[in-house]
Every structure is written in C-alpha cells, then in structure tokens.
Amino acid sequence: MREQVWLGRCADYDEDALFAKISEAFEALGAYDQIKPDMTVVLKPNLIQRSKPEAAICTHPLFTAAVGKCVKRAGAKVLIAESPGGPYSPAVMKAVYKGCGYTDMAEANGFQLYTDCKSREVPLPHAQRCRQVAIVEPFLERDYLIDLAKLKTHGMVGYSGAVKNMFGAVPGLLKPEVHCRFPDRLDFSKALVDICAFLKPDLSFIDGIWAMEGDGPTGGVRKMAGLLGASKSPYALDVVMSELIGFPAGSVAMLQDSAERGLGPKTSNETDVLGGRPTGPLDFRKAKAASTDFIDKLPGFLRPAAKKWSTPWPQIGKGCVGCGKCAESCPKKAIAIEQKKARIDYKSCIRCFCCHEMCPEHVVGVRRLGLFKM
C-alpha cells in the first residue's frame, strides 16, 4: 500500500492561515476520524535547546498550537512532551518551554506541558542496533502520538526530520550515551530507525516554514522555505521532504535503512502526494560535518584510513564563555573547561558533534581538511 504524504505552503506563522492548513492535513489523512474525545494526544515537538522561535532551531510554538487546536477540535486532550539535550529535570523543562515560547502558548490554548521528567528503560524487540533504551514516559503511555519535527540539515546524519525527531524521546543526558554506543554514522542512523519504529508515531508533521540550512541542527542559518508536510508515515514524510530540499533519500542513511526494512518508500515516487507537489527542489546548503558518501563505496581495506582523514572534527572558536554545555553533552567526556574556555581531547573525541549541537553560543565550529572540502 502506497503511503500518503500531504504537502502545503504557508508564507509565515499567521495563526488563522496555519490552523486552516493543518486542519486540511487532518482531513486529508483521516486524523479527525482517528482521534476520539476520551484520548490524551501527546505532541512531540523538536525543542533541542532553549531558543527563540525566530532562530528556526525548534518547532515553532504557533505551528504546535495549530496542531493542538485540531486535536481539541476532535475533542481530545493535548499534552506536549519533550526532552531536550542536557540535564532533564522539571526546572530545566520549565525554562526550555518558556524560552521557546511554549509556556504562554500552552496557557492560551489550554494545553498541558509535561514537566514530571520520568522515564524508564525499555526493550526494543525488533531493533537491529539499539535493543534497549530509556524513553520518557508519556511516549510510552499515550493514546495517540503526533510527531512535530523541524525541517533542518544535520551535521552527523545530513538531514533532520520526522524520524530523527523521535530521538528526543530519549531523556536528556542519556542521548549522548546512545551516541557513545553507536559512534559510527551508519550505526547511529540504524539506531534512530530502531527508536522511531518502536515509538510508532500515529501522525507526523514537519514545520518547514522557517527551516534551517547549513550547520544544523542548531548552528545553521534560517531559511524561509514556506513548507508544511504531514503523513501517517514518518519515513514517507521524510523521503518526500528530504528530496524537496535536495537530499535524495538514498543519500540519507536512516531513510535508506528504513526502506531496506520495508518501513518506508525508497523514493517519493512510491508515495501519493496530496495537496500539490512544489515544483523543483529547494537549494539547501548541507552541514559542513555531513559525512562523505564516497567512503562507503571504497574497498574495505581503504575505508579506515579514508574515514580518519575525511571525517570533520569540532573546534572551539572565539566567543566561548566556558558555560560547560558542551562538556555536559559529550558522551566520551572528552571536553574540559579550563580557564573559562572549553578544551577538546581529540584522542577521546568520537566526532558525534553533540558539542556543536548543544553550544548555546554557537561557537563550536566544524573543521575539515582542505582536500575534503573540495
């Protein structure tokens, strides 16, 4: 059966226009028929760190509000839950919600924000790499789960959308632990698919009105893309959206893996696009840290050396204030704060770029040998 992917255009975050578009997606995908009045619907936005909506790092609060209003229109209750990078505690979550514009939005719309910060270790019975992981409780106990991703490029896996957003269900500082268990890009991508396949979001949206290109998921540049996407399949949605921004699904390891498992399509041609397909791909700049695909095509005996020399590395730039967020998020504890500045021990660094993602000052840069820039 071919998966349906709804696409829409929206020039900005006008509340009325956005609600109309999201409601159109609910109708087209049959979500209004699935959501019942006695349900608690969990919304999972991308709130990777505390940042203002205009930075395009997190799912815009008005986008989440529009989805929540549609849920309430169906008669169900709305619970917004997320686990950003760094420590996971009630105080931290309240600060993140407030800093991302969610506190006032939730109060205005009668939505509940999850701040209990409880999680438990669960087995992933059908996983190929990540067979056990901790998951924040609302994602395990929900009646209906809506995945609300942000359209971004990504330093480690190239593209970040609906599948990658489910990684946020892993609590705070346990995310670096998963990075440490799977430092290789391909293995980590398989682990992302394992987590998404276990959580099985009932409906997925991508907020691509203000998207991010370049050194995402936090250090890139805002791009006015004006795109909205939705599907019951996070894999089909990602395949369509990644192709729209110039990332063929075969170049994104987690989407290639999901297709090989039979979870999603290989290309957008295997989906039914509703609402109208935009003409031509948008030109999104890739992250500097994105892995070079040619390594996977080399003979096996050449790959270790090629990977060593081609893999970019993080570098602390000017402007570091010694806040310690990078050291806090480093899975190998390869970063120390010395004289109010972060220092990286490259012998221990696994180049997962958690430090790059979590730096609130965006001063952790990405370096690559000149030959591989070309």
What's residue 298's pLDDT?
A: 56
Query: Is there a single domain that holds both residue 348 and residue 250?
Result: no
The values of phi and psi at residue 57, to 5°, are -90, -35
- Inter-residue contact 157 to 185 (CB < 8 Å): yes
Query: Is there a single domain that holds both residue 210 and residue 339?
Result: no
Choose the final residue of a domain: 218, 246, 274.
274
What is the CA 152 to chain-centroid distance, rounded?
Answer: 8
pLDDT in tens, 112-152: 999 999 999 999 999 999 999 999 999 999 999 999 999 99
Query: Is there a single domain that holds both residue 300 and residue 177?
Result: no
Strand-pair category, 77-80 with 112-113 = parallel
State the Cα–Cα distance between residues 131 and 123, nearest whole angstrom.
6
Query: Is there a single domain that holds both residue 250 and residue 303?
Result: no
Name the domain count of the chain. 2
Q: What angle do CA 288, 344, 218 make, to 5 degrees?
A: 40
What's residue 357's pLDDT?
A: 79
Query: Is there a single domain that holds both residue 240 and residue 350?
Result: no
Q: Which two tokens stand for residue 113?
A: 């924000």
Q: Domain of 363? A: 293-373
Query: Is there a single domain that holds both residue 261 and residue 354?
Result: no
The answer to whether position 284 is within a domain reads: no
Query: Is there a single domain that holds both residue 331 and residue 207?
Result: no
What's residue 176's pLDDT?
A: 87
What's residue 301's pLDDT?
A: 60
What's residue 276's pLDDT?
A: 75
The answer to whether position 42 is within a domain reads: yes
The answer to whether position 286 is within a domain reads: no
Domain with residue 321: its CATH number is 3.30.70.20
Query: Is there a single domain that holds both residue 64 and residue 186?
Result: yes
Query: Is there a single domain that holds both residue 241 and residue 312?
Result: no
Query: Is there a single domain that holds both residue 268 and residue 306?
Result: no
The answer to whether position 283 is within a domain reads: no
The answer to whether position 10 is within a domain reads: yes
pLDDT along the chain (374 residues), means of 10: 93 96 97 96 97 97 98 98 93 97 98 97 95 97 98 93 98 89 91 98 98 93 95 98 92 96 96 81 81 54 58 85 92 91 91 85 76 43
What's residue 372's pLDDT?
A: 43
Domain with residue 208: its CATH number is 3.40.50.11440
What's residue 26's pLDDT?
A: 98
Choose the final residue of a domain: 240, 274, 308.
274
Q: Which residues pair with 83 in a beta bridge?
A: none
What's residue 374's pLDDT?
A: 41
Choose the final residue of a domain: 224, 240, 274.
274
Cα 144 to Cα 112, 164, 211, 314, distances in angstroms: 15, 19, 26, 39
pLDDT in tens, 297-325: 556 666 565 555 556 788 898 899 999 99
Cα 164 to Cα 26, 49, 151, 217, 253, distances in angstroms: 22, 15, 10, 11, 11
The answer to whether position 79 is within a domain reads: yes
Question: Which residue type sits at 108?
Answer: A
Query: Is there a single domain that holds both residue 267 and residue 302?
Result: no
Query: Is there a single domain that holds both residue 117 and residue 234?
Result: yes
